[in-house]
Amino acid sequence: MQSPDNSQNFNRYGYCFGNPFKYTDPSGEWAFWDDLGAFLIGGIINWVSNGCQFNVQGLSYFIAGGGAGIATLYAPGSASLIAGGLSAANSIIGQGFKDGKFDFKNVDFAKAALDGTIGIMTAEGGAALGKSLNLDKLLGIGKIQNPTLRLVLGGAAGGTVMGSAFGAVSAGLTGQDIAQGAWSGAKMGFVTGSLSGFGSAVQYSQQNKTNLFTGKPNPVMQSPRNITEPLKSPHEIRLTISSQEMNGDDFVHVTTPAGASNIQQNGLNEGSYVTKWKYVEGVTNGTDFETMLYSKQYQLNPEVQGRFSNGFQILKINGTPTFYSPRTNWVNGVPQWRFYQGASPSNIFLIK
C-alpha cells in the first residue's frame, strides 16, 4: 500500500491520492520512500562525520543532514549551495551546544557564514579535484555498479581531500594546529562532498530514468503527460547516459547515427567490436574514427573513407566482452574487444 499512514489510501479507488494525472506509482509500493531514503542518507552521513553522538546535539546533526538530503533530492542542481547551508548549520550546532544545552549566545554567526562559504567551495572544488586526480579509478570507486553509491563515495573522496587542504591552509594562516585543521576540514569535506555526490546521483537517476537507490530502470511511464499523446512502444525508447558519468574502462561502440538507432532498437549483433571510452572520449572528428578503428582498411578500402562523414554516435555497452586486439586489419589503432554474444537494448546507452 502506498503511504499507509494516509487513511485515504485504504480506499482502493483513491489510487495515487485521487490524482493519477499528477502522480504515478508503478509498483504500488514505493510512494515517498525516496524522501525517507534521502533523509536517512543525509542524516546518517552528517551524524557519523560529527562524532556519532547519542544526545540532543547528535540528533541535531542528524536532522540537519536529513533536511539537506531531502533538499538535494528536490533540487539536485543546487547541491553545492545546500552543502554550504549544511556546513553553516553544523557550525551553529557545534558552537551553540555547551554542556548539553544549546544557546544562541554562544554562536558566532560570522564564523558560521564563513564555514558555509568554505562548504560551498569544498563541494565545488572537491568534485573538480576528484575528476582531475581520477580518484574514482585510484580508489576503485569507478568499479561500483550502483550509480548512487558510486557517485556519493566519489564526491566524498574528492570533498575529503579538498576539505583537508582547506583546513590545513586555514589553520596555518591563523596560527592554529595544522593537523587539527586538516582533520576538521576533512570532516567538513566528507559531508559536503557526499551531499554533492548525492545531488549528482539524483540528476543521473532523473536523466536516465533509473531507481535512485537500486540503479535499475524505472517502469516506462510518463507523469504528468497529455492524455492525447500516445505512449511510446518499447522499441521507441532510447536509453541515454551523460559523458560525465562515463568511466574510462567502460566499453563503447562507435557507429553512424542510423547504426546507433538500429542498435538501440534491436541490440548489438553477435561478434560486434568495441573499445574503451578512454581511447575515444576526446575524439570530435569522425575522420579520426575511420583511421583509429579501420586503420589498414582506410588505406585499402575506399568504402571506409567517409563512413562517418554524416556524423557519428558512441554507445555505451554494458557487459564483459573478450579481448580481441589487434584485429587482422588493425594497424596503430585503438585496442578492441568483441561481444561474441551480442548485447540487448537494455544494456545499450547513447552517450550524450
> For residue 39, what pLDDT band results from cuts at 50, 70 and 90?
very high
Nearest C-alpha neighbor of 274 from the set 309, 311, 320: 320
Question: What per-residue string of b and e applies to 85-103 under the rule 16 or more CB within 10 Å gives b?
Answer: bbbbbbbbbbbbbeeeeee
Q: Write down the pLDDT at residue 271.
A: 83
Comparing 28-37, 131-140, 152-161, 311-320, which segment has the lowest mean pLDDT?
28-37
Q: Is the per-residue pLDDT at 103 higher than 90?
A: yes
**Amino acid in the structure at residue 167:** G
**Residue where the block lists cell 564564523:** 111
Determine the average pLDDT of the residues in 283-287: 76
β-bridge pairing 251-255 and 313-317? antiparallel
Comparing 65-74, 120-129, 305-314, which segment has the lowest mean pLDDT?
305-314
Domains and CATH numbers, the chain: 32-208 (no CATH), 234-351 (3.20.170)
Give 110-146 pLDDT, tens digit per residue: 999 999 999 999 988 888 888 788 888 888 998 888 8
pLDDT, the chain, mean: 81
Of 9-23, 180-194, 258-272, 335-349, the range with the highest mean pLDDT is: 180-194
Calculate helix-pair angle for 178-208, 33-49, nearest 10 degrees: 170
Q: Write down the pLDDT at residue 24.
A: 56
More confident residue, 292 or 199: 199
Give 8-31 pLDDT, tens digit per residue: 666 655 656 666 655 555 555 455
Task: Report the C-alpha gap between 133 and 147 in whole angstroms.
Answer: 20
Task: Report the C-alpha gap between 153 and 321 in whole angstroms.
Answer: 27
Q: What percent of the chain has pLDDT over 70?
A: 77
Q: Is the per-residue pLDDT at 302 higher than 90?
A: no
Do residues 43 and 69 make contact, with C-beta atoms less than 8 angstroms apart? yes
More confident residue, 44 or 265: 44
Q: Is the per-residue pLDDT at 106 higher than 90?
A: yes
Neighbours of 232 (CB within 10 A): 11
Output the CA torsion sign for 263, 266, 271, 276.
Answer: positive
Residues whose CB falls within 8 Å of the CB of residue 302, separated by 6 or more in sequence, listed in order? none
Q: Is the per-residue pLDDT at 1 higher than 70?
A: no
> For residue 223, what pLDDT band results from cuts at 50, 70 and 90?
very low
Nearest C-alpha neighbor of 246 from the set 293, 198, 279, 272: 279
Q: Write down the pLDDT at residue 233.
A: 47
**CA 212 vs CA 31, 73, 340: distances in Å:** 13, 10, 32
Calculate helix-pair angle for 178-208, 147-174, nearest 10 degrees: 150
> For residue 331, what pLDDT band results from cuts at 50, 70 and 90?
very low
β-bridge pairing 240-241 and 322-323? unpaired
Q: Is the per-residue pLDDT at 351 higher than 80?
A: yes
Could you tell me how many residues make up the chain? 352
Neighbours of 274 (CB within 10 A): 22
Task: Report the C-alpha gap between 305 and 288 in whole angstroms.
Answer: 11
Of 6-15, 18-27, 99-108, 325-334, the range with the highest mean pLDDT is: 99-108
Q: Write down the pLDDT at residue 231.
A: 46
> For residue 310, what pLDDT band results from cuts at 50, 70 and 90?
confident
Determine the average pLDDT of the residues in 325-336: 58
Q: Is the per-residue pLDDT at 193 higher than 50?
A: yes
Q: Is the per-residue pLDDT at 105 higher than 90?
A: yes
More confident residue, 258 or 221: 258
Comparing 84-93, 169-178, 290-299, which segment has the lowest mean pLDDT?
290-299
Q: Write down the pLDDT at residue 225.
A: 44
